[in-house]
Structure 1
């Protein structure tokens, strides 16, 4: 049986074999998972040292950070000869939207209502652009020019349309709940509109990738601090990639044996087991202009239903 250390090495090897290496995406994962809870700003040099064991060299870090700054994810500040980077305002808003899905997987009971957005009055080119953005927010394509969401309320839909400059040419409606809330035709429609079969395959790949690590941690939990940081980073990185494509539908609309539930439980279990040692590693590696990173804020310990 592979040890936990072997499992981490396999995860790093798998990450490095992806071409091109998505260094910018991994850096955003590290900011969201590790840096934002501790003040949000780090020296670029210490970030480079932190990611080197994962296979990202200093040149690639600098290139990726430059690109992320240009894309308004990050903002930089010079103090003497050193550069310090933090999430920008827009970057922090995007982070909060994306990462809350990762750490808080439970859904409140569904009311049975739907928010509908009709894009039929938009010209074809703009309609596709708006549709793409709404689908990123979790809307499903029900029919030509009609998108639907079971939990996002109309005010949130209107805010998104305002931001896209399409509110004046779109129609937003909310349906009444009728029994049964999730009839067979509706469940089939949901399966097609959100391509749940493909999403289930993505979750299954995540489970196959990380179950060996969980098994090894249960048998000999002696993973070192650096390996705990690497494992935690790749765990959240890979889970986040699937979560970004998950519309977070209510349980009533999902298949009974939904792989997303298993994936969240596995991610939570591994995270809770290794996060403390990863935090010890982060304290010694990352620097701000004032010195070591501050301690994590209270919200950090609310992740995954509460960290010990």
Structure 2
């Protein structure tokens, strides 16, 4: 659903008719009831908002979903999945929280993992490159309990071993292998719009928790390299056909809050 709004609503100052969304998802084999339920849940979660035009109900993005989609766009098109331009630097974050702060510890670890950090030991986490870790700490109100450093590893440090210890490389590789198994061959979906939405959603699912580790310290034939090449080729091939289909399906109206 977010891929649909990201492709045809984001930064365009428009809202989309609910019936159009239902028509799109019918091409993915999703029932109208399931689509309507998803729209309602996304409104309740603050990801979409309603806007009425005559007797028709339209849906637009909120500030929250706009931020999520901009982040996803940056991860797909700017960062990418292959870190072959690493400058050798690391961001280190060390923290010590009271034993009773289980929720705060969970929230911090979750946000660190999302930002590309992996644990070396105890309360010491690392991420390749310069990461705005201080923003995470400040956002959680943990400034008094965490410290952030930027550093380079000494030549005696086994960076490959450190990466293997801090990150689940097998799990990361498996997501890219799953993507390749689904898309490297006959197209799983004949409809170009359905195929493009599925392709982008599944690719974002593969890369969203990838810490973008330096490729020189990853196992040989790292599957992200081949998967990213395949994604970009397929996305380009689906782009114009999917837009032609969407032009005939989507009823859009100006966003009154744009």
TM score, norm. by length of structure 1: 0.74
Aligned residues: 251
2: CA distance, partners of 1:207 / 1:76: 37
Preserved CA contact (<8 Å) 2:13 2:254: no
Residue equivalent to 1:101? 75
Please tell me the root mean square deviation across aligned C-alpha atoms, in Å: 2.4
Residue equivalent to 2:203? 239
Structure 2: any 5+ residue segments left out of the alignment? none
Structure 1: any 5+ residue segments left out of the alignment? 1-26, 217-222, 292-308
Preserved CA contact (<8 Å) 2:89 2:130: no
Mapped pair 1:68 → 2:46: no
User: In the TM superposition, what whole-angstrom CA distance separates every residue of 1:228-247 from its partner, at most 9, and x where no partner exists?
Assistant: 11111111121111111211
Which has more strand, going by share of residues? 2
Task: Say which of 61, 74, 95 aligns to 1:119.
Answer: 95
User: In the TM superposition, what whole-angstrom CA distance separates every residue of 1:140-176 from its partner, at most 9, and x where no partner exists?
Assistant: 11111121111243xx211122222223322112224
**1:1-308 to 2 correspondence within 5 Å?**
27-36=1-10, 38-39=12-13, 41-104=15-78, 105=80, 107=83, 109-123=85-99, 124-125=101-102, 126-153=104-131, 156-176=132-152, 178-179=154-155, 185-213=158-186, 227-289=191-253
1: CA distance, partners of 2:54 / 2:166: 53
- What SS is found at the alignment partner of 2:27? helix
Change (3 A) 1:162 1:83: farther
Change (3 A) 1:39 1:268: farther
2: CA distance, partners of 1:98 / 1:187: 28
User: In the TM superposition, what whole-angstrom CA distance separates every residue of 1:235-283 from its partner, at most 9, and x where no partner exists?
Assistant: 1121111111211223233223110111110011111112111111111
